[in-house]
Amino acid sequence: MMTGSDVAPGRVRRDRRPRLDPASGSSPMARALQLAAQVRTATAPNPWVGCVLVSRSGEVFEGATEPPGGPHAEVVAIGRAGEEARGSVLYTTLEPCAHQGRTPPCTGAIVAAGVSKVVVGILDPDPQVCGRGVEELRDRGVEVEVGEMAEEVSAQLAPYLKHRRTGRPWVILKLGASADGRIAAPDGSSRWITGEAARRDAHRLRAESDAVLVGAGTVRVDDPSLTARDGSQVVAEPLRVVLGSVPRGAKVRPALEMRGDPGGVLDDLGARGVLQVLVEGGSQVAHRFHEAGVVDRYVLYLAPALFGGDDAVPMFRGAGAPDMARIWRGRFVSMEPLGSDLRLELEAVGAEVPAGLDALIGSSSNMPAGEDARTQPDQEEV
């Protein structure tokens, strides 16, 4: 008799391990979303996609996108299913590709494997795909359904979707501050306003970002390494970007030195395949990005502390809204306690998928994020 340990990896006997129990609210597409989340940090500049193949007899085979150059989610699941793919239903968060990239088209693999039906979360806005995957599958006799859990998938893939639509990365601005909104003391010292849990969250956020950006002043004062760490272990090394000149011997080296307005910087990073950039301050850089209106998400860590005066460093250094009519208005995407701190995530009201693509990919977004516990003084030379 077959036991759980006889089941090959990725091959799940539905009767033995009923992961896809509709009664529990789970579904193949919900599982595909989970699988995609597991490879969130490993696929850029490609999207993180999850796939679940359900065979005619109800066996379940899973796949997720491998690092660039490796197989796509659909090909992984089909490979695991082997002959069981014939007559199956394949659920994929993103439209299968129909083009030859670093890897052959998924549509070809789907047709060759004899899959009967494909259920797609959202269409792929990449100009090379953009509906062609669905079209080709239908032309070749595969039934296709589009739009299952489209909102959830759009939220999960928000950075990828923005990059493919606009050429710019998804921008997260994070700031750690006292409850009265100050990120450093008048003498420039800022460690540690927020606590350990916020610090861990910050490193997770760095790990999922393709680039981390700070001002040169922050490098001079803090000498951060800007790597993503789990304890003392470096788990990711995003591209480190410094606005201005990096001093010799700085820990942030090797780093990309950039100049110019935020829009130009983002265009340049997008062209380098950066899907998500984390702006870590200090307060002049925060002001410049905010003022330019290019921030997709604000992640604020507020500590139960008060500087209690107006001489401590504010979150944004520079002129703000001159009157109430021009104040930035947003909405809280999430609010959660983190250790003894509060983590707030905001986006602009009306922030959503630009018109025209709504129909294709569903509505907007919900991204996880995090922050460095420490805050930065405001001495960038930018």
Residues designated as active site = 74
Long-range (24+ apart) CB contacts under 8 A made by 133-141 are 133/95, 133/96, 133/97, 133/98, 133/105, 133/106, 133/107, 134/95, 135/98, 136/98, 136/105, 136/107, 137/96, 137/107, 137/110, 137/111, 140/107, 140/111, 141/111
Q: How far is the CB of 116 from Zn ion (least distance, A)?
A: 19
Q: How far is the CB of 125 from ligand AOF (least distance, A)?
A: 8
Chain positions 100 to 119 lying near ligand AOF, rule: CB under 6 A, are 101-103, 106
Contact 303, 177 (CB under 8 A): yes
Q: How far is the CB of 31 from ligand AOF (least distance, A)?
A: 15
Closer residue to ligand AOF, CB minimum distance, 98 or 279: 98
Phi, psi of 221, deg, nearest 5: -80, -45
Contact 163, 209 (CB under 8 A): no
| Ranges assigned E (strand) in 247-296 | 256-258, 276-279
Q: Is 126 in the site for ligand AOF (CB under 6 A)?
A: yes
| Among candidate residues 137, 94, 91, 85, the one with its CA nearest the CA of residue 115 | 85
248 Cβ neighbours under 8 A, 6+ residues apart: none
Element (H, E) at 198: helix 196-208
Structure tokens at 41: 């940090």
Closer residue to ligand AOF, CB minimum distance, 52 or 173: 52
Closer residue to Zn ion, CB minimum distance, 90 or 246: 90
Q: Is 94 in the site for ligand AOF (CB under 6 A)?
A: yes
CA distance 336 to 334: 7
Q: State the binding string over 170-209 for ligand AOF (x if CB under 6 A, else -).
A: ----------------------------------------
Q: State the binding string over 249-288 for ligand AOF (x if CB under 6 A, else -).
A: ----------------------------------------
Residue of this chain nearest to ligand AOF (CB atom) = 101
Q: Is 90 in the site for Zn ion (CB under 5 A)?
A: no
Element (H, E) at 216: helix 216-222
Structure tokens at 98: 């129909």
Query: Residue 47 touches which of ligand AOF, Zn ion, none (CB < 5 to 8 A by kind)?
Result: ligand AOF
CA distance 319 to 246: 26
CA distance 156 to 363: 11
Closer residue to ligand AOF, CB minimum distance, 26 or 128: 128
Of 44, 51, 54, 72, the residue at the interface with Zn ion (CB under 5 A) is 72
Q: State the binding string over 226-245 for Zn ion (x if CB under 5 A, else -).
A: --------------------
Q: Is 16 in the site for ligand AOF (CB under 6 A)?
A: no
Closer residue to ligand AOF, CB minimum distance, 81 or 286: 81
DSSP state of 215: E
How many residues contact ligand AOF, by CB under 6 A?
19
Q: Is 97 in the site for ligand AOF (CB under 6 A)?
A: yes
Q: Is 36 in the site for Zn ion (CB under 5 A)?
A: no
CA distance 263 to 268: 9
Q: Is 74 in the site for ligand AOF (CB under 6 A)?
A: yes
Q: Is 124 in the site for ligand AOF (CB under 6 A)?
A: yes
Q: Is 72 in the site for ligand AOF (CB under 6 A)?
A: yes
Q: Is 49 in the site for ligand AOF (CB under 6 A)?
A: yes
CA distance 310 to 66: 50
* Identity at 221, one-letter amino acid code: V
Q: How far is the CB of 208 from ligand AOF (least distance, A)?
A: 16
The residue ranges that bind Zn ion (CB under 5 A) are: 72, 97, 106
The residue ranges that bind ligand AOF (CB under 6 A) are: 46-47, 49, 65, 68, 72-74, 94, 96-97, 101-103, 106, 124, 126, 128-129
